[in-house]
Structure 1
Amino acid sequence: MSSFDVVVIGSGPGGYVAAIRCAQLGMKTAIIEKYSTLGGTCLNVGCIPSKALLASSHHYEELQHFADHGIEVSGDVKVNLEKMIARKQAVVDQTAGGVKFLMDKNKITVFEGVGSFENATTVAITKADGSVEKIEAKNTIIATGSKPSSLPFIKIDKERIITSTEALKLTEVPKHLVVIGGGVIGLELGQVYLRLGAQVSVVEFMDRIIPGMDGALSKELTKVLKKQGMKFYTSHKVQAVERAGDTVTVKAENAKGEIITLEGDYSLISVGRRPYTDGLNADKAGVKISDRGQVEVNDHLQTTASNIFAIGDVVRGVMLAHKAEEEGVIVAEYLAGQKPHIDYNLIPGVVYTWPEVAAVGKTEEQLKEAGVDFKSGSFPFKALGRARASSDIEGFVKILADAKTDEVLGIHMIGARAADLIAEAVTAMEFRASAEDISRMSHAHPTFAEAIKEAALDATGKRALHI
C-alpha cells in the first residue's frame, strides 16, 4: 500500500493549490480526482468556461457599437454558437492541462477515481472499471467542493430544465431563457445569452438581485441589466417548473399572492450550490457532517478527526474559488508547523457581468444592523475621463469608513474592470488603511482606478475633485 504525508481528495482550486503548497513544503503528496480532467467545477464547468463565454459574447455585443468609434463593419455579423462553445472548451482543456503540468512539476501523485475513507488513515480509490486501490494517508484534506442545488419539486432533465453545467454547452441560443435565481451564476449566464439574442427573464425569491451584496450595487445592476433588456421578477416564489415538449412553464407567486406564468424554451435553475460529500464515507474516519451538509471544522480547518482537514465549498463560508485556494494554503502551512492566518472579511466577491460588480468588507446594511457609526463616499464612473473614452460610463465606487477612526470598513463597486480594481480595495483593507490614506495615493490618469481615490476623498468629508 502506497503511503503519503498528505492526500487531497478533490482537484478543484482549493484541492490542487493545497497539494502544490504541501509539495513545496516538502511533503509527499497525492491528489484524488474522480473525473478524467483536473481542476474541479471551477476550471471545467464553472469559473473558467463561464468567463470564456462572457468574453466571447461581450465581443459580439461590442461589435454592434463599433460604428460609434468610427469603425464600419460591412456584412451581417452572425453568432456561430458551435464555434463559441468549442473555443470555450479549448480554454478549459488548456487550463486543466496546466493543472496537470503543475502536478507533474511538483511531483504530486495523481489518482483518478472516487476517494472514500476506510478509516482515518486509509483512503480507498474506486476507479471507473470498478477496481479499488487503497493508500495510506498521514493527513488528508477534503476538497470535494459543491454541486448545483435545486428545489424539491423541480425535475432537472438537463435538456430544457438545466443547471449551469448544461447552460455552458447549449447547441442553440434560447428564444426565451427563464432563469430561476438572481445570484451570480444566473446573472452571468443570463447575460451571455441575452447578448446573443435570447429573451431573458429572472425570477428571484428575495426582493432584489445579488441579495448578499450592498443594496446600492443591486439597485445599479438591476437598472443596467433592465436597460440591456433583461426582465426581473423579484419577491417571487417559484411554485412549479414543468416541461411539455420544447416549452418550459414557470409559475411563481409574488408578495401579494398573485401567480405569474412565464413560458420559455429553456429554464436555468441557479438557486445556489450545496456541499458535496456523496460517497466520502466521512463517518468511517470520524469526520462529522453538519445538518447543512458541511464538513465541520475548527479555526485551523481541522475536522473532528485530528489528521483530516477540509476546505472550500464543503465547509462553512462563501463558496468562492479564491477562498478555497487561500484555505488550501492555510492547511498546508499549518501542517508544516507554520502559523498562517486568513481574514474572511477580506475575501472579495465578484459578479462578472458587464459592468462587473465587486465588493469586499461590510455592506451598508450590515453596518447599520450592527449599529456601527460610519460615513460613506462615492464617485460615479461617468465622471472619469477613462470611462468616457471607452464608453464604459455606468457604475460607481462606494467606500464605507468608520465615522471616528476613518478606517475603511467596506468598498463596493460596479463598473468596468471592477473585478480587477477590487484588489486595490483588499490591499488597502488588509493594511487597515483609512479613507484618507487611499485619497492621498497617486492614481495614474486616466484610469478607472481613479474612481477609488475620488470615492475615498468623498468619504473623508473632502469633496471629490471631478464632480
Structure 2
Amino acid sequence: MSKYDITVIGSGPGGYVAAIRCAQLGMKTAIIEKYDTLGGTCLNVGCIPSKALLDSSEHFHNANHSFEEHGIELENLKPDFSKMVERKNKVVDQTCKGIDFLMDKNKIDVLHGVGSFVDKNTIKVTDKKGQEKEVKTDKVIIATGSKPNYFKGMEPDKERIITSTEALSLKEIPKKLIVIGGGVIGLELGSVYARLGTAVEVVEFADSIIPTMDKTMGKELTKVLKKLKMKFNMKHKVQKVENTGKGVVVTALDKKDKEVTFEADYCLVAVGRKPYTDGLGLENVGIKTTDRGQIEVNEDLQTSADNIYAIGDVVKGAMLAHKAEEEGTFVAEKLAGQIPHINYNLIPGVVYTWPEVAAVGKTEQEIKDEGISYNVGSFPMKALGRSRASGDIQGLVKIITNKDTDEILGVHMIGARAADLIMEGVVAMEYRASAEDLVRMSHPHPTYSEAVREAAMDATGKRAIHI
C-alpha cells in the first residue's frame, strides 16, 4: 500500500496547482483524478475550450464585419464549425498533456479513478474497470470542483437541452439558441454562436445581465451584445423546458407573471454551477456539506477533520479557476509552515466576451450599501487613440475611490484586453494605492492602459485630459 504526505483529490486548477506546490515544498504527493485526462472542468470542458471557441468565432466575426474597413476583401466567407471544434480539441489536448508533464517533472504520482474516504488517512481509488486500491496519506486536499447547475423543469437531456459541456461540441451551428441565464457562462457561449449567425435569446431571472458585477458593466455589455443581435428577456422565471424532438420550447413567467414561450433549436441551461462531492465518502470522515452542497472550512481551509482540507468550487466563494489556484497554494504553504495569505476582495472576475469585462474590488452598490463616501471616475475607450486604431472603441473604465482618502475601492472595465488590464487595478489595490498614485505613473502611448490612468484622473477631480 502506497503512503503519501499529501493526497489531492481532483486535478483541476486548484488540485494540480496544490499538488505541484506541495511537491515543490518537499512533500511526497499523489493526485487522484476520476477521468482519463488531468485538468478538471477548466482545461477539459470550461475555461480553455470556451476561450478557444471564443477566439475562433471572433476571428470569423471580424472577417465578416470589419476586415473590409481595414482594406481586406474576402469572398464567400463561411464558418466551418467542425474545424473550430477540432482546433478547440487540439488546444485542450495540448494543455492537458502539459499538466501530465508537470506531474512527471515534480514526481507526483497520478492515480486514475474515483477517490473515496475509507477513514481520514485512507483513500480507496476505484478505476473504470471497478478495480480498487487503497492509499495511506497524512493529509488530504479535496479539490473536486463543480458541475453545471439546473433547477426543476430545466433538467438537461444533453441533446436539445444542453449544458456548457455539450455547447462546446455541437455538430451544427443552431439557427436559434435560447440561453437560460445571463451570467458569465451563458453570455460567453451565447456570443460564440451569435457571431456565427445564430439567433440567440437570453432569458434571465434578474433585472440585468452579469448581475453580480457592477451595474454599469451590465448596461454596457447589454449594448455590446445587442449589436450582435442577441435578445434579452429580463425578470423572466423559467417554468419548464421541453424537447420537442427537433427543437425546444421554453415556458417562462415574465415580469407581470404572464406565461410566455420561446422556441429554438437548442436550449443552453447556464444558471451557474454547484459543488461536486459525489462518491467522496465524506460521511466516513464526519464531514458535512451545507444546504448549497459546499464543504465547510475554517480560515485555513481546514475541514472538520483536522487533516483534510478543501479548496476551489467545493467551498464558499466565487467559482473561479484562479481562486482555486490561490487556495491550493495557500494550503500547501500552510502545511509547510509558511504564512501565506489570500485577499478574497482582490480576486478579479472576467467575462470573456468581446470586448471583455473585468472587475476587482467592490461594486458601486456595495460601497453605497456600506455607507462609504466615494468618488467615481470613468473614461470611455472610444477616446483612446489605440482604440480608434484597432477599431475597439466600445466600453469604458470605471474607478471608485474613497472620497476621504482617495484609496481605490473598486476597478471595473469593459473593453479590449480588459482581462489583462484588470491586473493594474489588482496590483494597485493590493498595495492600497490611491487614484493619485495611478495618475502619477507614466502609461505608454498609445495603449489601452491609458484609459485606466484617465479614469483615475477623473476620480481625483474630473481632470481627465482626453474627454
TM-score above 0.5? yes
Q: Within 5 A, what are the aligned runs for 1:59-138?
A: 59-64=59-64, 65-73=66-74, 75-138=75-138
Query: 3-state SS of the aligned residue for 2:232?
Result: strand
Deviation beyond 6 Å, 4+ runs, structure 1: none
RMSD over aligned Cα, in angstroms? Answer: 0.6
Task: Look up the match of 2:143.
Answer: 143
Is 1:354 aligned with 2:351? no
Q: Unaligned 5+ residue runs, structure 2?
A: none
Instruction: Tell me how far apart the structure 1 counterparts of residues 455 and 154 of structure 2 sit (CA, whole Å).
Output: 44
TM-aligned CA deviation for residue 388 of structure 1: 0.2
Q: Within 5 A, what are the aligned runs for 1:25-424?
A: 25-64=25-64, 65-73=66-74, 75-424=75-424
TM-aligned CA deviation for residue 368 of structure 1: 0.8
Instruction: Tell me how far apart the structure 1 counterparts of residues 437 and 259 of structure 2 sit (CA, whole Å).
Output: 52
TM-aligned CA deviation for residue 154 of structure 1: 2.0
Q: Unaligned 5+ residue runs, structure 1?
A: none
Post-superposition Cα deviations, 1:165-194, rounded to whole Å, max 9, x if no partner, equal 000000100110000000000000000000
Post-superposition Cα deviations, 1:77-122, rounded to whole Å, max 9, x if no partner, equal 1111111100000000000000000000000000000001000000
TM-aligned CA deviation for residue 462 of structure 1: 4.1
2:377–2:462: 8 Å Cα contact kept in structure 1?
no
Task: Look up the match of 1:442.
Answer: 442
Letter aligned with residue 70 of structure 2: H
Identity rate, percent? 66
TM-aligned CA deviation for residue 151 of structure 1: 1.1
Instruction: Tell me how far apart the structure 2 counterparts of residues 283 and 433 of structure 1 sit (CA, whole Å).
Output: 46
Letter aligned with residue 2 of structure 1: S
Instruction: Tell me how far apart the structure 2 counterparts of residues 90 and 77 of structure 1 sit (CA, whole Å).
Output: 24
Letter aligned with residue 189 of structure 1: L
Letter aligned with residue 119 of structure 1: D
Post-superposition Cα deviations, 1:11-41, rounded to whole Å, max 9, x if no partner, equal 0000000000000000000000000000000
Query: 3-state SS of the aligned residue for 1:455?
Result: helix
Instruction: Tell me how far apart the structure 2 counterparts of residues 251 and 373 of structure 1 sit (CA, whole Å).
Output: 44
1:120–1:286: 8 Å Cα contact kept in structure 2?
no
TM-aligned CA deviation for residue 286 of structure 1: 2.2
Count the aligned residue pairs. 466
1:150–1:269: 8 Å Cα contact kept in structure 2?
yes
Instruction: Tell me how far apart the structure 1 counterparts of residues 153 and 316 of structure 2 sit (CA, whole Å).
Output: 26
Q: Report which stretch shifted further, 353-362 or 245-254.
A: 245-254
Instruction: Tell me how far apart the structure 2 counterparts of residues 194 and 342 of structure 1 sit (CA, whole Å).
Output: 37
Post-superposition Cα deviations, 1:345-380, rounded to whole Å, max 9, x if no partner, equal 000000000010000000001011111111100000
2:152–2:240: 8 Å Cα contact kept in structure 1?
no
Is 1:451 aligned with 2:451? yes
Query: 3-state SS of the aligned residue for 2:227?
Result: helix
1:288–1:303: 8 Å Cα contact kept in structure 2?
no
Query: 3-state SS of the aligned residue for 2:465?
Result: coil
2:146–2:274: 8 Å Cα contact kept in structure 1?
yes
Letter aligned with residue 19 of structure 2: A
